[in-house]
Amino acid sequence: MKRDQRLVQSETAIVEAALKTLITNPSAAMSEIAIAADVGRATLYRHFETREVLIKALVVDCMKETEIALKGIEHLKGRAAFEAIFDLLMPLADRYQFMAGIWSQVQNDKDLVKIEAGWKKDMQALVKQTKKRGEINRDIPSEWIVAVFDSTFAAAWVLVSSGDLSPSDAARYAKQTFFSGCAG
Partner DNA sequence: TTGACATGGGACATAGGTGTATCAAAACCG
Partner DNA sequence: CGGTTTTGATACACCTATGTCCCATGTCAA
Each residue 27-46 as x (binds a copy of itself by CB under 8 A) or -, in order, gives: x-------------------
Each residue 82-111 as x (binds DNA by CB under 7 A) or -, in order, gives: ------------------------------
State the Cα–Cα distance between residues 116 and 168, nearest whole angstrom: 25
Minimum CB–partner distance for residue 180 and a copy of itself (Å): 5
Identify what 68 binds: DNA, a copy of itself, none; CB under 5 to 8 Å per kind. Answer: none
Q: Which of 44, 96, 92, 36 has its CA nearest to residue 69?
A: 92
Q: What is the 3-state secondary structure (H, E, C) of 132-165?
A: HCCCCCCCCCHHHHHHHHHHHHHHHHHHHHCCCC
Q: Specify the DSSP class assigned to residue 103.
A: G
159 lies in the binding site for a copy of itself (CB under 8 A): yes
68 lies in the binding site for DNA (CB under 7 A): no
- DSSP alpha helix (H) spans, the chain: 5-24, 30-36, 41-47, 51-70, 78-89, 93-102, 110-132, 142-161, 167-183
User: Phi, psi (5° rounding) for residue 48?
Assistant: -135, 110
Instruction: Compare residues 39 and 160 and give the one whose CB is closer to DNA.
Output: 39
From candidates 12, 31, 151, 176, binder to DNA by CB under 7 A:
31
Q: By CB under 8 A, what part of segment 123-142 binds a copy of itself?
A: 140-141
Residue numbers of the site for DNA (CB under 7 A)? 1-2, 4-7, 9-10, 29-31, 38-43, 45-47, 49-52
